[in-house]
Each structure stands twice: as structure tokens, then as C-alpha cells.
Amino acid sequence: MKHFNKVTILALLATVTMLPTLAQAKRYVLSVGVVQSRDTLRYTLNDAILVKEMLSQDDSEVVVLTSDGKGQGMPTKDNIYKTLRDMIGKAGSEDTVWFYYSGHGSTDGNESILCTYGYLENPRTEYISANALRKEIDSKSHCKGFVMVLDACHSGSLKALPGLPLSQVFAPIKGISTWASCEIGETSLELPELKHGLFTYVFARGIAGAAAGKDTTVTLSDLKNYVTKTTADWAKKFAQHPQNPVITFTEGSGSTPVGQTNDDALTQVPEPTPDQQVARPTEPLPPGVIVTFEAAGSTTAESTEDVETVFRQQLLEGNYPVVSSEQATDMLTVLRNRDSAQAAQQAQRMFCRFLLRGKVTVKTRSTTVGKRTVFVAAVTINGQVVDSDGSVLVSLNTDSGEGVPVEGQGFSEDRAIKVGVRKAAEAAVKIAMPAMDKVVRPRLTQGGKTAEILKFEQMIGL
């Protein structure tokens, strides 16, 4: 959900075409809630379920995809596209398709993307881009109404093409409208006591009838007026925090009915009171640590992988968010090509801010003990932990001080290297972890830098 100031803007975007009357329309509802492997979002799954409940009608066909496994499938890119295509294909000319997404967003260059389940492990493939989604809707939809609700975390501007907000990207689709939970530069709020995002909660209350006019029907204009005013009022009342939804829809479609007063539904979304409720800003994914070591001289790749494994395990045990080995390998390839711009883009997509990079040097010799040959492996590990602004936070060198490398012995050279590398890695961890706990851990929750100011050119020549 973008890039990334550490202030997260939970952006709810809804695309609405002119809807038929409630009595005529059959609703097809796809409601998606995504939590990633190291997520800080707490209520995306609740929001997906809530929206599904508010949108369900007697003749509705509803599919829920949530990453807790309690829906009808996992919210992967393939599952989302498959379900969406199926619904669009079945919807008749008088029917309405609703697509709701709650989770994180990111950017791919200048294009906004939705991070589907597994994005952190597969950032090159596991996402849906705004342009691809627009083309999917534009080319395949023959239904009378299409409603798209994208509740996605962003920091910074919401753009799908250079200089174009998402509302303009979807503008070519006839009758389109967009709803955004807050203005660019603002942060959306969560309601911890109610366990929902503020804007989604207000949106659900509006659909359930809180936005209804005198005739108990909720029109598009009714919903816009209610959501705009109530979100801003609650943000000010509960958090002294600005949150102003930005909503546009096609001229002439304001009278389109989108909901109806339902007393039972309204009891599920009671209005919070100041004495029970404190709203707070949503949080971004914690910035990840890339761990990558290179082999110096004749050191083998196996040795560097062993060092990386020890570091990753220790960092994970210490509750540090660690980028996968496959992604770290991709980053190392980019760094070797001295392409700092591409490295920055890689870091953006992996939600990472810190690079732990170093070199492993192994030198072996043999000696005779009695009648047996014993191999000795002298191993040195040196490196740095670098922040996204290029500053060195931690330095490590396993032979600093005495200048004596760590040694491992064995009756075979391979065994000696294995022992020496493990001992050196453990020594390096003992040096690095206390320093990281002191200077890196506080930055995991700090506001500020992630992708746009990465200076990886300072990391290349370690």
C-alpha cells in the first residue's frame, strides 16, 4: 500500500459504475483480506468479513479470500483473478460485481500495486497492478454495475502512471468513480476497540443504513456525504488527527441506490464513543533486513550460505524482519552490476531498509598430528549493517583486535572449513547482534525512510 514514508496511508479506493435498483440487481461479491508474513496490519481480515456481511443479499454470490485460511481460498494473485473473472463472466447486464481488497499496497516503478498473499516471498510476481486490473475490468465486464473497493496501505502519492492518480487511470471505464480514505499525506486510522479500520467501518455503517435518507434507501450521494463527514469527524474526535476521504463519482449517478436501512446490520457496527475508543494510525510493514555475504578469494559459495543461514536464524529469533535468501540473491546480483537505481527499486518492492552485507575469507592449511593429517581452516568475516540513507550502523570483523582469524580443524579439508565457518559465523553474530539491538531495532518502528531515498551506491563497495 506508495512510497514509503513510514507514515502509512491506508487508502480505500472504490470504483463504482451506475448500479441498478436493489430489487433488480444480483450482487457478485469478492471480498479479499491479506496479511503478509511479517505484517503489522491487524484488522484487514475483519474488514473483509465486515464488508462481505454488509454487501450480502439473498440472491448474492459471495466469495471470501483471506490469508487466515478461513475463507474459500487464499488471497493469491491467481485466486483473485480467477474469482474476479468468473464473477464478471457470469454477471448479466443488470447485475453488479463488487470487489473489495484490504491489505498492503506498494509501487512497481511509478505504478500502484496491490500486494497479494505471498508478496514478500515473491515480490516479482505476487501482486496486481492498477493498470492490469483496469484492463481486466474494461475488457471483460458486461455487467451494469461494477464496484471496486481497494483498502490498501500507502505512504506517499497514489499513482498508477507517472503523474496520474488512480481515479484518472480508471477514468476510461464508463461510469467509474473512486473513493479514497484520505488525502495524500494523511494517515488513515484504526479503531482498536472495534478491531476495524476507521474508514472501512464508516463505509460499512453507511451501507447498513446510517447514511440513509428519509426513505431508508442509501444512494451513492448519501453514502458519499456520510462517509466524508463522519470519517473526518471521528478522526478529529478520537485522535485529533486529520483524515479526509476523497470521493468522486460520475455525474448523474448520485441517486443510484447502494444500500438500505437494516437495523440488524447496524447493531453489528455501533457508533463508538470517546470514552471507549481511541483511534490510532495504521502501521506499515516493518522494514526488512537483507542479509548477503560474498566469498573472498577461493572461499566457496557454500561457506557464504552457511554464514547467511546463521545470521538469518539469529535475526529471526530476535524478531527482526528478514528478507528471504532468494530475494537477497537478487539484490546481490544487482549490486554486483553497480546499478543503485535498480537496487533501490528492489528494496522498495521488498519493504526493506537495512542491508547486512559482508565478505567471508577462508584459508586452509594442513599439519601432521601423529600419523594423521589434520586440516586447519582460518576464517575471517567482516561486514557492515547499512541504513537506507547509506549510513553505516554496525561494523563487524571477527579478527579485529588481535588480527587472528577464527580456526576450525578436521581430518578433511571440507570438515575443517565447515567447523571454522560455523565458529566464525557465531563469533560474528555475537559482535553484530548487541550493536543491532542498540541502533537498528529502534529504527524498525521509526517514521521516515524507506525507498525513495535509498543510496545503495554507498553499499556497493564494501
Q: How confident is the model over 82-136, as pLDDT tens digits? A: 999 999 889 888 888 888 988 877 666 566 778 899 887 777 788 888 778 888 8
Q: Which three cell numbers stand for residue 310?
A: 546463521
How long a stretch of residues is the chain? 462
Q: What is the DSSP string of 255-271?
A: T-EEEE--HHHHHHSPP
pLDDT in tens, the chain (462 residues): 333 333 333 343 444 444 444 445 788 999 999 888 767 677 889 999 999 999 888 788 999 999 988 889 999 999 999 999 999 889 888 888 888 988 877 666 566 778 899 887 777 788 888 778 888 877 766 777 778 877 775 433 344 444 445 556 565 566 566 777 777 667 678 888 888 888 889 999 999 999 998 889 998 899 999 999 999 999 888 888 888 887 777 777 788 788 888 888 899 898 887 666 666 666 666 667 888 888 887 788 899 989 998 998 888 788 777 777 766 777 667 766 666 666 666 666 666 778 888 899 999 999 888 888 999 999 999 988 888 777 888 888 887 555 578 888 888 999 999 999 999 999 999 888 998 888 888 777 554 343 333 344 444 443
Asked if 374 and 367 count as a contact pair (C-beta separation under 8 A), the reply is yes
Asked if 179 and 11 count as a contact pair (C-beta separation under 8 A), the reply is no
For position 189, what pLDDT does the model report? 81
Question: CA 370 to CA 352: how far, in whole Å?
Answer: 53
Question: CA 336 to CA 322: how far, in whole Å?
Answer: 21
Q: Which three cell numbers stand for residue 441?
A: 531495532
Question: CA 41 to CA 70: how far, in whole Å?
Answer: 18
pLDDT tens digits, 247-277: 777 777 788 788 888 888 899 898 887 666 6
Q: Comparing C-alpha atoms, which of 151, 154, 118, 114 is closest to residue 131?
A: 114
Question: CA 311 to CA 431: how far, in whole Å?
Answer: 11
Q: Comparing C-alpha atoms, which of 119, 178, 169, 121 is closest to residue 149?
A: 178
CA angle 214, 215, 221 (to 5 degrees): 75
Asked if 129 and 26 count as a contact pair (C-beta separation under 8 A), the reply is no
Question: CA 242 to CA 188: how far, in whole Å?
Answer: 9
Question: CA 412 to CA 415: how far, in whole Å?
Answer: 5
Q: Where is 127: in which H helix or E strand?
A: strand 127-129
Up-side HSE of residue 429: CA atoms within 13 Å toward CB? 20
For position 144, what pLDDT does the model report? 75
For position 379, what pLDDT does the model report? 92
Q: Which three cell numbers stand for residue 119?
A: 508478496
Asked if 198 and 234 count as a contact pair (C-beta separation under 8 A), the reply is yes
Question: CA 26 to CA 94: how far, in whole Å?
Answer: 8
For position 292, what pLDDT does the model report? 83
Q: In whole angstroms, what separates CA 52 from the centre of its chain?
A: 22
Residue in this structure with the C-alpha cell 438500505, named with its chain if needed:
260
Q: Comparing C-alpha atoms, which of 43, 45, 34, 12 is closest to residue 103?
A: 34
Residue in this structure with the C-alpha cell 473489495, named with its chain if needed:
100
Question: CA 429 to CA 394: how far, in whole Å?
Answer: 12
Sequence letter at residue 61: E
Question: CA 132 to CA 135: how far, in whole Å?
Answer: 5
Q: pLDDT exceeding 90 applies to what percent of the chain?
A: 21
Strands (E), 203-332: 217-219, 246-248, 257-260, 280-281, 288-296
List, in order of start, the domains of the chain with CATH numbers: 9-281 (3.40.50.1460), 288-458 (3.40.50)
Asked if 55 and 98 count as a contact pair (C-beta separation under 8 A), the reply is yes
For position 66, what pLDDT does the model report? 93
Question: CA 53 to CA 57: how far, in whole Å?
Answer: 9
Q: Comparing C-alpha atoms, which of 392, 457, 445 is closest to residue 281?
A: 445
Helix 198-205 vs helix 220-239: crossing angle, to nearest 10: 140
